[in-house]
Structure 1
């Protein structure tokens, strides 16, 4: 019985990835493309790219032309993941959304403040390496540095990264390394189909990242 259950797990995992990729394309009109995946090698999980020192095991583009490979077609997504059921789901930024990427601790602090302020939020992910990704309207990457400066912060002093054209993020339920899967902190729903502008979220995010930076400096001193 245990053997049968173990044999079913990869199939169930593949179905979950396929269904999620199709749903992102069909319901959200997000472009998706397949990335690498994790494979069991000599009792350990390795990235399918084969590099022992891979920086993002199981969650990076498998091909250099990933930007042109991305598709918003649910039919194409079903075909791609039907052929590559273990492939990670990667979403290109700079198209239907950009992403504001912050440390998880700062992200949860900002999220609580945003909810108190009753701000409109888009989807938000948590990654296994303890980062949070806030989905915002495209164009954020170009204007975030100036928005941060206007709030009185030096952009390089904050661990706040805006990901736009030429970048991508891993989508749930993609697994990264041996540390777990990307998860939704705020799921995509009909209510958050309209994404906020970066200007609406930047103040609480910059404040939370500033607190994180100050706490880190205090720990070092």
Structure 2
């Protein structure tokens, strides 16, 4: 379990180290986002102050965020030294796109990928019980066509793609409700080179179709 909201010195240090590490080790563009604060009763709310914020502690905190993200570790270090509570956001559509599926479908797909000896990739787990598979940019534009070629209607599957103009929330960021972003499969030297979406799409689509069929039976 990740630590609770009430450990600011520990979490801010880990946020800084992780943000710099993503830029340094992976050359990923990194962006500081909103963060969680607590009210007088200990309830979490977003630093943006918006009532009913749709993504508490997990969205860009400035309108020019697309130009303020950086893959320079010194620049990233300055960002978090200026605002150490910031969530860590990784813009998609630059060094990676992310295929977004449910946690159940993602776990089934991971097992099939291992049996099929398919390429490794980082896989991010969200508090909303979703798994995000990192692939090379360009997936958002071609996945609907690839799904149809494989025999699935894109709209029939619980599968989405985050590409240009999107972002993912990276560990050890805490969000509300539900906890922390966590790696289901960590970035390592073994998965430094990301696969093309086409290499992973068949097991992902199969797993999503199995989940859809199970829901219909219920």
TM range (shorter): over 0.9
Q: Which residue of 2 aligns with 1:14?
A: 12
Cα separation, 2, equivalents of 1:158 and 1:7: 35
User: Which residue in the other structure is 1:120 paired with?
Assistant: 119
Query: 2:34–2:60: 8 Å Cα contact kept in structure 1?
Result: yes
1:139 and 1:178 map into 2 onto residues whose CA distance is 31
Aligned length: 214
Partner of 1:30: 28
The whole-number CA distance in structure 2 between the counterparts of 1:178 and 1:15 is: 22
Cα deviation, 1:56-110, whole Å, max 9, x if unaligned, reads 1100011111110100110011000011111000000010100000000000000
Report the Cα distance in structure 1 between the residues aligned to 2:100 and 2:37, rounded to whole angstroms.
27
Distance of aligned partners of 1:83 and 1:145 in 2 relative to their CA distance in 1, 3 Å threshold: same
What do the CA deviations read for 1:161-196 (whole angstroms, capped 9, x no partner)?
Answer: 011101111011111103110000110111110000
User: In the alignment, which residue of structure 1 is the partner of 2:134?
Assistant: 135
User: Using the alignment, how far apart are the partners of 2:20 and 2:170 within structure 1?
Assistant: 12
Following superposition, the deviation at residue 218 of structure 1 comes to 1.8
TM-score (norm 1): 0.94
CA contact (8 A) 2:120 2:190 kept: no
Residue 49 of structure 2 aligns with which residue? 50
Taking the aligned partners of 1:42 and 1:114, their CA distance within structure 2 comes to 47
Q: Distance in 2 between matches of 1:38 and 1:186?
A: 25
Aligned to 2:204: 205
Partner of 2:179, secondary structure, is coil
Offset, 1:213: 1.1
* Structure 1 unaligned regions, length at least 5: 1-5
Residue 68 of structure 2 corresponds to 69
Distance 2:134 2:163 in 1: 11
Question: What is the SS of the residue equivalent to 1:135?
Answer: strand
Q: Is contact 2:105–2:207 with CA below 8 Å preserved after alignment? A: yes
Corresponding residue for residue 78 of structure 2: 79
Runs of 4+, deviation exceeding 3 Å: none
Q: Which runs of 5+ in 2 are unaligned?
A: none
